[in-house]
Structure 1
Amino acid sequence: MAGEMASVNKVILMGTVTTVPDFRVLENGTMMVNFQLETVSAGETEKHHVIFFGHLGEIVLQYVHQDMPVYIEGRIRNRQYEDRNGNRHRVTTIVARKMQMLARKKTDEPPVSDLFGNVNLYKRVRDGEDALPDLADFDEGYEWW
């Protein structure tokens, strides 16, 4: 449109992962990984829902764990959805484009998954060897995905 002003949607966060990274495979075969990130600024604690797609999601799933400090760059995405009961919800997420782990993975923990082995659900779904996971028990707060 003529006369539109340039705009920027960029967010930079540095905080602590407060949930175990979780994933699902979208209908187009792309992996989506998400976790909650907690930041503290001027004594106020904020919780951010962060999502990662594709290869970055694979890296997060394999190496990031709960209580790990991370640096994230991305954009803010606001969505609205209606749940099964007809209630409207507004959800704000951070779609990450870059991520830097600020601590190494604990060496006494086994890897979350072997992204290149046959036991990797994402790889099996992508290669047509398995079906999408049953998301019946998936948190209703994420239905809009």
Structure 2
Amino acid sequence: MASVNKIILLGTVTTAPDFRVLSGGSMMVSLQMETTVGEETESHDVTFYGRLAEIVMQYVAEGSVIFVEGKIRSRQYRDKNGVERLVTDIVSQKMQMFGRKKDIVSDTDDLFSKDNPYKKAREGRGDPPDLSRFEYDDW
């Protein structure tokens, strides 16, 4: 019999990403996000691995809006008190950020405001922001 384990979420990150380096040297990042449908809000634990985890750690912050596609994973473990626990989380296979990268917000400002740095540069009132640190491959 065929089966499918797939979940798609679009929501707001409610905790700062937390990372661990696994024994093989790859990175694992976990965070919580909220989704709201109507008046019902759900909290989800999401885990990212490898290169995707590195991108999340670098660019996603509490308050970011992200799209996550992945699978549901349930696992059991014993905590330090010997109590058996069941944990269900989402293992992300794809992620897309909505909005701006957290580390360049101050350089770009709001492009529609009177303080637009590009407008100031065109008018001779300053230099445009240095965008050389943009990594367009990561978008």
Which TM bucket (shorter chain)? 0.7 to 0.9
User: Does the residue aligned with 2:106 lie in a helix, a strand or coil?
Assistant: coil
1:53 aligns with 2:56: no
Letter of the structure 1 residue corresponding to residue 95 of structure 2: M
What is the TM-score when the length of structure 1 is the normalising length? Answer: 0.70
Letter of the structure 1 residue corresponding to residue 56 of structure 2: V
**CA-to-aligned-CA distance 1:88-141 (integer Å, 9 cap, x gap):** 1111110000000011124239xxxxxxxxxxxxxxxxxxxxxxxxxxxxxxxx
Q: 2:18 aligns with which of 2, 13, 22?
A: 22
Give the Cα separation in 1 of the matches to 2:32 and 2:96: 15
What is the TM-score when the length of structure 2 is the normalising length? Answer: 0.72
User: Does the residue aligned with 1:108 lie in a helix, a strand or coil?
Assistant: helix
Give the Cα separation in 1 of the matches to 2:2 and 2:85: 29
- Structure 1 counterpart of 2:92: 96
Q: CA deviation at 1:24?
A: 0.4
- Structure 1 counterpart of 2:2: 6
**CA-to-aligned-CA distance 1:20-40 (integer Å, 9 cap, x gap):** 111000111110011101111
Give the Cα separation in 1 of the matches to 2:38 and 2:100: 27
Structure 1 vs Structure 2 CA RMSD: 1.3
Give the count of matched residue pairs.
105
Greater relative CO, 1 or 2 (CA 8 Å, sep 6+): 1
User: Does the residue aligned with 1:91 lie in a helix, a strand or coil?
Assistant: strand
1:85 aligns with 2:81: yes
After superposing on structure 2, the runs of 4+ consecutive aligned residues of structure 1 that deviate more than 6 Å are none
Give the Cα separation in 1 of the matches to 2:93 and 2:23: 21
Q: Gapped runs of 5+ residues in structure 1?
A: 110-145
**CA-to-aligned-CA distance 1:30-88 (integer Å, 9 cap, x gap):** 10011101111131111100010000000000001110111000000001111111111
- Structure 2 counterpart of 1:35: 31
Report the identity percentage: 58
1:108 aligns with 2:106: yes
